[in-house]
Amino acid sequence: MILSAQQLFSDAQVVTTTAPSTNIIDLGAPGTVLGGPAALTRDVGPGRPIAILVQLRIAATGTSPTLVATLEMDTTAAFSSTTIIATAPLIAGGAAGQRVGLFYLPEGITERFLRLLYTTGGTTPSYDIDAGIVLADQTND
């Protein structure tokens, strides 16, 4: 998988309790067409599917650990009024290198900032996560 530092949500992020990704992605402010009366409306998603990979760096630890990754958007970097736009399937446990989720940006992303929220379960769960936007799903592991 090829990952870009500018498109990473998490880079070796250790998650032991429900927490947001260490990085957010700023899609920027929509521009205004020359002579237009107002800024363009944002809608990320139409066209080629844009994949988000969430992968474990090392095996999960704890008793019956679980993890769910949720993609959120907001109009501010503080994420004070988030909107959930996609959720990766629940993962129980997890081995090193295991993909927790590979899901796609849906149509209708109209807000400026994106982040992942990791929700953990089980007793003393610990996950070490890499996550980011990728060009495509690598299938020749």
119 within domain boundaries: yes
40 within domain boundaries: no
139 within domain boundaries: no
For residue 48, pLDDT over 80 is answered with: no
Residue 45 binned pLDDT confidence (cut-offs 50, 70, 90): low
32 within domain boundaries: no
64 within domain boundaries: yes
Token pair listed for 79: 């994420």
Mean pLDDT of the chain: 87
What's the domain range around 77? 5-27+45-134
The CATH number covering residue 85 comes to 2.60.120.1110
Mean pLDDT score, 105-128: 91
Question: What's this model's pTM, rounded to 2 decimal places?
Answer: 0.87
Q: Which pairing describes strands 61-74 and 91-92: parallel, antiparallel, or unpaired?
A: antiparallel
> Residues with Cβ < 8 Å from 123, sequence gap 6 or more?
62, 63, 64, 65
Residue 105 binned pLDDT confidence (cut-offs 50, 70, 90): confident
Residue 140 binned pLDDT confidence (cut-offs 50, 70, 90): low
108 within domain boundaries: yes
Q: How many domains does one find in the chain?
A: 1
117 within domain boundaries: yes
